[in-house]
Amino acid sequence: MLTKREIEILQLISQELTTEQIANQLKLSVPTIETHRRNMLQKTGAKSVVGLIKLAFKEGLID
């Protein structure tokens, strides 16, 4: 369902990192992180980042 990179970004989101912090850590641009976030929302049908995090916990994608 989600790519390895999307799961990596989701894990960083769950650690309460900002989009800019995630971009810096992964050496990507802020728009790239925003695109990944938008794609995750679309793929999962989640309505918000909170919904993404809940789904990730349920599916065991993050601790």
Indicate the domain borders of the chain: 4-59
Overall pTM surpassing 0.85 (yes/no): yes
57 near 46, Cβ under 8 Å?
Answer: no
Over residues 6-62, the pLDDT tens digits come to 999 999 999 999 999 999 999 999 999 999 999 999 999 999 999 999 999 999 988
What residues have CB less than 8 Å from 46, skipping those under 6 apart?
40, 52, 54, 55
pLDDT exceeds cutoff 90 at 1: no
Residue (of 17, 22, 53) closest to 35 by Cα position: 22
At residue 63 the predicted structure's pLDDT band, cuts being 50, 70 and 90, is confident
Write the CATH number of the domain with boundaries 4-59: 1.10.10.10
